Structure 1
Amino acid sequence: MRKVGILGGTFNPPHIGHLIMANEAFDALQLDEVRFMPNAIAPHKQLVDDATMENRLRMVEIAIEPYDHFTIETIELELGGISYTYQTMKELCEREPDVQFYFIIGGDMIDSLHTWYKVDELVKIVEFVGLKRPGTQSASTYDVTMVEAPEIDLSSTLIRKRLKNGGTLKFLLPEGVEEYIRKEGLYGTR
């Protein structure tokens, strides 16, 4: 059975914290691959004045391009609408019955896991993999396999603010992502 990690998110934009999380889980659990799964509409985030779905997908493609063990999962973009992890993972498990899925989440998501749609059913079909984040408890009553990894206090919100205010992004974005953002005039860079 193949072992596949799933790292879901808005990736608005993707940053090095996403790559580090994916790589740490890949290594610690000896996964076959990690799929980055941009959501169409996240149930827990409201997107205002942000990049289009196509922009976010292209930025993820650019971010993971150098890494053979990272791929993209577009199921939530294909399904459209609000992306509930339970529905997505149920569909993926049906499509790929020979795969054990590991759903990778950060500390903020671990803390709110009890609020997720159909989480009691979800934990029966995927294994949650958690990485601590500064400022979170990274604790849940649900089983979460914790992976030791460097804790990085970095968010897409911070990146967007820096872009808007002309702050430095050196070492914060994967190679090529900032160039794409500026070329497309995203996040107030016009």
Structure 2
Amino acid sequence: MKRIGILGGTFDPPHNGHLLIANEVLHALNLDEIWFMPTNIPPHKKSADLTNNEDRVKMLSLAISNNPSFKLQRIELERDGPSYTYETMRILKEHNPDIHFYFIIGADMVEYLPNWYNIDELVKVVNFVGIKRPGFTFATKYDVTPVEAPQFDVSSSMLRKRFKERRSTMYLLPETVKHYIEEKSLYGPQAGS
């Protein structure tokens, strides 16, 4: 049975923190691949806040292009309305019954699991993998596999702000993604160097 990790998010933009986490989980759990799954409309955000799907897919494709174990999964972009993990994973499991899925979340989300939509059914479809971070516990009644990863404190919102303010983004995201952002003026008139 194939073992696939799922890393979901808006990836607006994708950054080296996403790649680092994916790589750590891939090797720590000896997975076959990591599927990066950009959300269409996260339940907790407004779609107007997001860069369009085409640009997010292109940035993500550029970010993962040099790792053959990293793949792009577009299922949530092909569905209308808010993206609920349970619905997405149920469909993925129906189409891929021979795959064992591992859903990657940050330590902050481990504590939030009881609030996830249909969580008691979701845990029957996927194994959760939590990335350990200082200041967060793994206090949950749900089974979560902890994975240690080096701390790399970068976020997409921080990067958007840096681009808008024309501050440096060097070493925070792949150069190919940075060039695409600059070319398209995605987060401001001129990107950071």
TM-score normalized with structure 1 length: 0.95
Share of identical aligned residues, percent?
A: 53
- Tell me what 2:148 maps to: 148
What residue identity is the alignment partner of 2:140? S
What is the Cα deviation at residue 135 of structure 1?
Answer: 5.1
Q: Is 1:175 aligned to 2:144, yes or no?
A: no
> What SS does structure 1 have at the residue aligned with 2:41?
coil
What residue identity is the alignment partner of 1:29? L
What is the Cα deviation at residue 114 of structure 1?
Answer: 1.3
Moved more, 135-144 or 13-22: 135-144
CA distance in 2, matches of 1:44, 1:33: 27
What is the Cα deviation at residue 111 of structure 1?
Answer: 2.3
CA distance in 2, matches of 1:139, 1:61: 35
Instruction: Report matched runs for 1:29-40 at 5 Å.
Output: 29-40=29-40
- Tell me what 2:158 maps to: 158
CA distance in 1, matches of 2:47, 2:151: 25
- Tell me what 1:189 maps to: 189
What is the Cα deviation at residue 51 of structure 1?
Answer: 1.2
What residue identity is the alignment partner of 2:88? T
What is the Cα-based RMSD across aligned positions, in Å? Answer: 1.4
What is the Cα deviation at residue 112 of structure 1?
Answer: 1.3
Aligned structure 1 segments of 4 or more residues deviating by more than 6 angstroms: none
What residue identity is the alignment partner of 2:115? T
**Gap runs ≥5 in structure 1:** none
Would the alpha carbon gap of residues 133 and 158 (structure 1) be closer, same or farther in structure 2, given more than 3 Å must change? farther
What residue identity is the alignment partner of 1:34? I
**Gap runs ≥5 in structure 2:** none
CA distance in 2, matches of 1:162, 1:110: 29
Q: Is 1:2 aligned to 2:36, yes or no?
A: no
What is the Cα deviation at residue 79 of structure 1?
Answer: 1.3
> What SS does structure 2 have at the residue aligned with 1:8?
strand
Instruction: Report matched runs for 1:78-157 at 5 Å.
Output: 78-134=78-134, 136-157=136-157
CA distance in 2, matches of 1:13, 1:124: 31
What residue identity is the alignment partner of 1:161? K
What is the Cα deviation at residue 124 of structure 1?
Answer: 0.7
CA distance in 2, matches of 1:186, 1:30: 36
What residue identity is the alignment partner of 2:114? H
What is the Cα deviation at residue 110 of structure 1?
Answer: 1.6
What residue identity is the alignment partner of 1:100? H
> What SS does structure 2 have at the residue aligned with 1:151?
coil
Moved more, 24-33 or 140-149: 140-149
Contact 1:164 1:189 in 2 (8 A): yes
What is the Cα deviation at residue 160 of structure 1?
Answer: 0.6
What is the Cα deviation at residue 50 of structure 1?
Answer: 3.5
- Tell me what 2:41 maps to: 41
Moved more, 90-99 or 124-133: 124-133
TM-score normalized with structure 2 length: 0.93
CA distance in 1, matches of 2:55, 2:166: 20
Would the alpha carbon gap of residues 138 and 44 (structure 1) be closer, same or farther in structure 2, given more than 3 Å must change? farther
